[in-house]
Amino acid sequence: MGYETIADLVNIFNMNVDVHKNSNEKNESETRKSYIDPMFELMGWNVSNQDLQVHEREVTAEYSVKDKTGEKKADYSFNSEGKPMFFVEAKDPYVNIEENKQAAFQLRSYCWNANVRHWFS
């Protein structure tokens, strides 16, 4: 499904917001494919990494971050010169990320453990 603008994408989501928030029909993977990937592509990121070598990729899906408990996978790493600049963590649409402390901690821990600390200063 191609969108011309982020506003188009937001309008489609808003038309379906009740279904997304009140059911388990739309899971994290579908949310990524339907909304998150297209949003970042509209912002100019090469999410699919089309025509890029591994070391040139702007976006890495399932980026590995090691912490003291083992290896975790951030849903997205947005990179510059092969290093993560920031991470994005997708959640099921029914997860209230404004109130879910675990979701915020998860994302911050990826940044901390990958030494992406400019967000903490």
Q: For residue range 62-99, what is the model confidence (pLDDT) as tens digits?
A: 999 998 888 999 999 999 888 899 999 998 877 888 89
Q: Quick check: 94 and 24 in contact, CB under 8 A? A: yes
End-to-end CA distance of the chain: 39
Q: For residue range 35-49, what is the model confidence (pLDDT) as tens digits?
A: 999 999 999 999 988
Q: Give the pTM.
A: 0.82
- Record: fold of 6-120: tt1808, chain A (3.90.1570)
The ranges assigned to domains in the chain are 6-120
